[in-house]
Amino acid sequence: MAAALTLARRAAGSSSPNPNVGCILVREGRVVGRGWTGPGGRPHAEAQALAAAGAQAAGATAYVTLEPCAHVSPRGPACAQLLVEARIAEAVVAMPDPDPRTAGRGIARLRAAGIAVVEGVMRAAAEAELAGFIQRATRALPELTLKLGLSLDGRIALADGQSQWITGETARAFGHLERARADAVVVGRGTFAADSPRLDVRLPGWRGHQPARVVVGHGAAPEGWETVTDIEGLLALARTRQWLRLLVEGGGTLAGSLLAADLVDRLVLLRAPILLGEGLGLAGFAATDLAAAHGRWRRVHTRLLGRDLLEILVRTR
Amino acid sequence: MAAALTLARRAAGSSSPNPNVGCILVREGRVVGRGWTGPGGRPHAEAQALAAAGAQAAGATAYVTLEPCAHVSPRGPACAQLLVEARIAEAVVAMPDPDPRTAGRGIARLRAAGIAVVEGVMRAAAEAELAGFIQRATRALPELTLKLGLSLDGRIALADGQSQWITGETARAFGHLERARADAVVVGRGTFAADSPRLDVRLPGWRGHQPARVVVGHGAAPEGWETVTDIEGLLALARTRQWLRLLVEGGGTLAGSLLAADLVDRLVLLRAPILLGEGLGLAGFAATDLAAAHGRWRRVHTRLLGRDLLEILVRTR
């Protein structure tokens, strides 16, 4: 399942409107097929893995990071049906599909065909990978990551707005990886005006997915970019486009508003070993009670990237 | 030498006005004596190790973290002379003594008596341990550590001054260890008024050194505490008392003034996984150039303490 999750990650950002799923078919101890969700959501991971396995799928065990879909769509057949037809012997499934059109019916279909199903293997990891998909299905909200490059004292820019560069090259490359996993990259109007960011994925050799680019606030934007006037507009656009993952890269006012509205699911903080003193930081929200501020964020990753320190935290409630 | 440095650390904070030094005597592969600087500076580490070894010191190798002193003081004999009289065979010395009364004369005395001397073993680690002693000898300044408990966004208190508690129990216990290593613990008037801190070392079973307690700013302080009106007063007091290590625990105004005056040698940052938004942070200084802000601090230690993240940085120039 860990290998299937790694495959799923390949499709992060590019699979929308569908979730990014990975599937591995194993027969007699050998991998006979591998698949992950294609660009734009098709083919599904299971269909791709079955195509690779061909006749060898019969009797195989399928490891799949999300319950196979049970609903026939105009875009393709139901994966549960494909697995039944391929006569796999067993399915190992990380998590149920929160889509009400499947929601257990995929696993029921497999079992009805005599296929043994093991559920919940590495469920927490699968749910973390599909946080945006789950949240879209349950709350009509994408997963929102706030990425900030900051100083030791929490500043994201000098008082005059200068912020290039607080973090070093390695940390910035990591930022590009985050962009590659997002459906859209978002900045506030002030950051757009101050930095003229390109917001694209610039990594050596990268030929994959490029996220949509969104500016929040009033004013013009370059050809091909999206503009919305406020956070409500951003969320409406995300719903229309069926985005699963948003990456917000600042500035302090937009970040503060999103935090105040409790819309940030994940923090990616890249902290440089510098002190900036009185400069720009998060604006527009203020904790009023220390006890209540605790327990809202859980560190899931801490690591040095060059001279900078990466911290990833997820919201706990 | 690593073991001798560990012994030296036992005397950190309590050895003033003398440097905290460690000494180990090894004869035929066995440790025959160990010593570290006593409270208030006497006995010296070498004298203590020689006393433990007795006649077994003859022919031994002495590992000592600082060049043995060459000057006879009213408080005791010169260690170089004691080592000669004990007829050690060899001395391994981490760093020269910056005190002009010794400054090479200790090693010369050993060599003149036919003792082989190896210099510079683990010199960088010894110099880091004795940074305050070196700085006092060379610039008449103590080593100044700024310890702050902060949020992810760099706040040290809510807007109303509330800061108890930002960090958790483990991080606070680490703060007490830092106090135990300091000659004096210092806070600004605002923090003193807001928090009524005790500034003593409170660790289970601790019966060692308690640092002096200093408030910077105008106003009264508890019996036994020191008060100074400003940073100049603090430095003058440190010179008078011959302190080697100051630990400043805030608040933002004092910390900002010390940083603006470039008097902070070491940063101990304990970062809680919380966001506080618009609250109190470092005040009274502001970087004006990002390029110049880089390269001033070097991370020497990063580690999780409970839910909090400890970062220790030292000034590079």
Confidence of residue A72 (pLDDT cuts 50, 70, 90): confident
- How far is the C-alpha of B164 from the C-alpha of B195, rounded, in Å? 8
Chain A CA closest to residue B279: A286
Query: Cβ of B54 under 8 Å from any chain A Cβ?
Result: no
Q: Which of A153, A267, A269 sits opposite B281 (nearest CB)?
A: A153
- How far is the C-alpha of A316 from the C-alpha of B178, rounded, in Å? 32
- How far is the C-alpha of A188 from the C-alpha of A215, rounded, in Å? 6
Q: Is A66:A95 a contact under the CB 8 Å cutoff?
A: yes
Q: Check A28, A46, A119, A169 and give the catalytic one.
A: A46
- How far is the C-alpha of B23 from the C-alpha of B46, rounded, in Å? 6
What is the reported pLDDT for A76? 75
Chain A CA closest to residue B167: A294
Which regions of chain B are under pLDDT 70? none
Residues of A in contact with B167 (CB under 8 A): none
Q: What ranges make up the beta strands (E) of A212-261? A: 212-216, 226-228, 245-248
Residues of A in contact with B152 (CB under 8 A): 154, 267, 269, 297, 311, 313
Residues of B in contact with A159 (CB under 8 A): 286
Query: If you ran DSSP here, which 8-state letter would residue A284 be given?
Result: S
| Three-state SS at A85 | helix
Which residues 262-301 on chain B approach chain A with CB closer than 8 angstroms?
267, 269, 272-279, 281-290, 293-294, 296-299
Residues of B in contact with A269 (CB under 8 A): 152
| Three-state SS at B85 | helix
User: Among residues of chain A, what percentage have pLDDT more than 70?
Assistant: 100
Please tell me the distance in Å from A190's CA to the nearest CA on chain B: 19
Chain B CA closest to residue A276: B287
Q: What ranges make up the beta strands (E) of chain A? A: 22-27, 30-36, 61-64, 90-93, 116-119, 143-150, 184-188, 212-216, 226-228, 245-248, 266-271, 297-305, 308-315
| Three-state SS at B97 | coil
Is position B127 annotated as part of the catalytic site? Answer: no
Query: Cβ of A165 under 8 Å from any chain B Cβ?
Result: yes
Query: Which residues have CB under 8 Å from B213's CB, separation 6+?
Result: B184, B185, B186, B199, B200, B221, B222, B224, B225, B226
Query: If you ran DSSP here, which 8-state letter would residue B26 be given?
Result: E
What is the reported pLDDT for B74? 81
CA angle, A243 then A244 then A246, to 5°: 80
Q: Which of B275, B284, B299 sits opposite A293 (nearest CB)?
A: B275
Enumerate domains of chain B plus CATH numbers: 2-132 (3.40.140.10), 141-315 (3.40.430.10)
Enter the pTM of the model.
Answer: 0.92
Q: Do A275 and B286 touch (CB under 8 A)?
A: no
Query: Cβ of B304 under 8 Å from any chain A Cβ?
Result: yes
What is the reported pLDDT for B247? 98
Residues of A in contact with B296 (CB under 8 A): 274-275
A275 CB-contact burial (10 Å; exposed 0-12 / middle 13-18 / buried 19+): buried
User: CA-CA-CA-CA torsion for B26, B29, B30, B36, nearest 10 degrees?
Assistant: 30
What is the reported pLDDT for B299? 95
What are φ and ψ of residue A271, in 5° steps? -110, 120
- How far is the C-alpha of A225 from the C-alpha of A217, rounded, in Å? 13
Chain A CA closest to residue B268: A152
Q: Check B28, B46, B178, B226 and give the catalytic one.
A: B46
pLDDT tens-digit profile of A153-201?
A: 999 999 988 899 999 999 999 999 999 999 999 999 999 988 889 999 9
Query: Which residues have CB under 8 Å from B252's CB, separation 6+?
Result: B156, B157, B280, B281, B282, B283, B284
Distances (CA, A) of A158 to A74, A311, B286, B288: 53, 22, 8, 7
Chain B CA closest to residue A270: B152
Q: Do B297 and A275 touch (CB under 8 A)?
A: yes
Q: Tokens 């406020």 correspond to what residue?
A: A230
pLDDT tens-digit profile of A222-260?
A: 999 999 999 999 999 999 999 999 999 989 999 999 999
What is the reported pLDDT for A96? 96
Which residues 171-230 on chain A approach chain B with CB closer than 8 angstroms?
none
- How far is the C-alpha of A272 from the C-alpha of A280, rounded, in Å? 15
Distances (CA, A) of A220 to A10, A193, A217, A224, A232: 34, 10, 9, 11, 18
Tokens of B141: 């300044």
- How far is the C-alpha of B70 from the C-alpha of B72, rounded, in Å? 7
User: CA-CA-CA-CA torsion for A291, A292, A298, A303, nearest 10 degrees?
Assistant: -60
Q: Are strands A245-248 and A184-188 parallel, antiparallel or unpaired?
A: parallel
Distance of CA B57 to the CA centre of its chain: 30
What is the reported pLDDT for A244? 96
What is the reported pLDDT for B196? 86
Residues paired with residue A301 on neighbouring β-strands, in sequence order:
A312
What is the reported pLDDT for B317? 73
H-run or E-run covering B149: strand B143-150
What is the reported pLDDT for B69? 93
The sheet that has A297-305: what strands, in order across it? Answer: A226-228, A212-216, A184-188, A245-248, A143-150, A266-271, A308-315, A297-305
Which residues 94-123 on chain A approach chain B with CB closer than 8 angstroms?
none
Please tell me the distance in Å from B178's CA to the nearest CA on chain A: 20
What is the reported pLDDT for B161? 87
Please tell me the distance in Å from B168's CA to the nearest CA on chain A: 10
The sheet that has B212-216: what strands, in order across it? Answer: B226-228, B212-216, B184-188, B245-248, B143-150, B266-271, B308-315, B297-305
Amino acid of residue A266: R
Q: Are strands B116-119 and B90-93 parallel, antiparallel or unpaired?
A: parallel
Cis peptide before A211 (omega within 30 of 0): no
Residues paired with residue A61 on neighbouring β-strands, in sequence order:
A26, A90
Distance of CA A40 to the CA centre of its chain: 14
Q: Do A290 and B153 touch (CB under 8 A)?
A: no
ipTM value, please give it: 0.89
- How far is the C-alpha of A269 from the C-alpha of A154, rounded, in Å? 10
Tokens of B228: 């100074």
Query: Which residues have CB under 8 Å from B55's CB, separation 6+?
Result: none
Residues of B in contact with A299 (CB under 8 A): 273, 304, 307, 309
